[in-house]
Chain A
Amino acid sequence: MGDENAKKIFIAIPAFNEEKVIQDVIKEVRAAGYRNIVIVDDGSSDNTQQKAAEMGVVAIKHKINRGKGAATKTAIEACKLLDADIIVTMDGDGQHDPKDIDNLISPILTEGYEVVLGSRLKNPQGMPGYKIIQNKIGNMLTWFLFGLWVTDSQSGFRAYSRHAAEVINTRGDRYEYDSEVIREIYVYKLKYEEISIKVRYTEYSMGKLHKQSLMNGIITLYKMLWRLIS
C-alpha cells in the first residue's frame, strides 16, 4: 500500500538504546513504502537519536528516560503536530515487521475503524511459551480491570485514526500504557479491530530481557491497580 497521497500516514517509533538496529528498522519501514517516520529516543545513553537523524527522519529525544509509554505518547504527539491522519506505533528493536503496516492501516482506510491492534497471539508461531503465558495473564488482567477483552493487550504495534489519537488520553509512562489504551478504547467506544501480526524474536530483541522481566510485569500490574484506586 504505502499510498500517502490520500492520507498522511506516520510511523511512530519509541526507542531506547537501539543504536545498533534503528537504522535497519527505518530502512525496513521505508522499504514497506512509508516515508513519514518519527523516532523518539527515550533518553538513551547511546547514539540512537543521531543514528536516526542520519537517516533523515524526524528524530526527537527525551532528555531523561521516561519509559516506553511516555515515549510512545510523545511520538504520537509529534505525529499530530505534523498533521498525521493515521498513526502507526511500532517498537524500535526490530521485532515488528513493517510489512504488516499495510494490514494494520487497511481497516482504518477502508472500513472506518478507529484503532487497529496488532496481535501476536492470533498466530503465536515461534513465540516463546513463557511469553504466551505472560500475555494471556496480561489480557485477563486488562479485561478484569478495564472491561475489554483483547487477544494481545501488550502489543506495541498498533494503528490509530486521527480521531482516536486525539481522544485517547493515557497516564501510564511505562508498560501499563498499552493496557491503558485498551481502557480508552472501551471508555470512548472506539471502533477497533485486531489483526494478526508477525513478531521476529531475534537474538537482539530477546537479549533485551529487562523489558519483559517478571518484576516489570509485577510493576505494571501494580501501576494498573494503583491508577484505579488513586
Chain B
Amino acid sequence: MTIHVYQIIMILVAIVMISQGVKNYIRGRSGQTLYKLAIRIVVWGGMGLIAIFPDFSNFLANIVGIKGNINAVILTGFILTFLMIFKLLSAIERLEQQISEVTRDDSLKELKSEK
C-alpha cells in the first residue's frame, strides 16, 4: 500500500485536533462539552479515517445513498459544515443578547439604586 504525503498530513492534523479536544475536555476547560468533543471526533476522525482507508468513502457513499464516493464525502462535509455554522450562529446570537443585557443592566444601575 502506497502512502501519499497528503495522507500523512491529514492523519497528523486529525490526531492533533482530536487529542487537543480530549485534553480540553479532561481538563474541564470552560465551554468544552461532551457534545463538542463528539463533533470534533466525528469530523476529524472521519477525515483521518478517509485518509488512512480511502475505500471507506465507498462505504460512506453506500450509507448516504450517493453513487460517487467523492460526492458522498463532499455532501457529508457540507452537512457537517452547515451544522457547525448553525451552532456558531446560535452561539453568536446568544452572546449578542447577553452583551445587550449586560449593557442594559449597566445603564439602568443608577435608576435601580435610586428605587
Contact = CB atoms under 8 A, between A and B. Distances in A.
B103 A70 contact: yes
B108 A66 contact: no
Interface string A64-81: 101100100110011001
Contact of A230 (B89, B111, B112): B89
Interface in A49-105: 58, 60-64, 66-67, 70, 73-74, 77-78, 81-82
Given A81-B112, A81-B115, A82-B111, A62 B104 contact: yes
Contacts of A74: 103-104, 107-108
Interface in B64-115: 86, 89-90, 93, 96-97, 99-100, 103-104, 106-108, 110-112, 115
A60 B100 contact: no
Nearest to B115: A81
Nearest to A227: B93
Interface residues of A, number: 21
A230 B94 CA distance: 10
A61 B107 contact: yes
Contacts of A58: 111
A61 B106 CA distance: 9
A28 interface: no
Contacts of A67: 100
Nearest to B106: A63
B111 A81 contact: yes
Contacts of A70: 100, 103-104
Interface of B is mostly: helix
B95 to A, nearest CB: 12
A63 B110 CA distance: 14
B96 A60 contact: no
A43 B110 CA distance: 17
A226 B93 contact: yes
A193 interface: no
Contacts of A43: 103
A60 B97 contact: no
21 contacts: A43-B103, A58-B111, A60-B107, A60-B108, A62-B103, A63-B107, A64-B99, A66-B103, A70-B103, A73-B100, A73-B104, A74-B104, A74-B107, A74-B108, A78-B111, A81-B111, A81-B112, A82-B111, A173-B97, A173-B100, A230-B90
The 10 A-B pairs of least Cβ separation, nearest first, read A70-B100, A60-B107, A74-B104, A66-B100, A81-B111, A62-B103, A173-B100, A66-B103, A230-B90, A62-B107
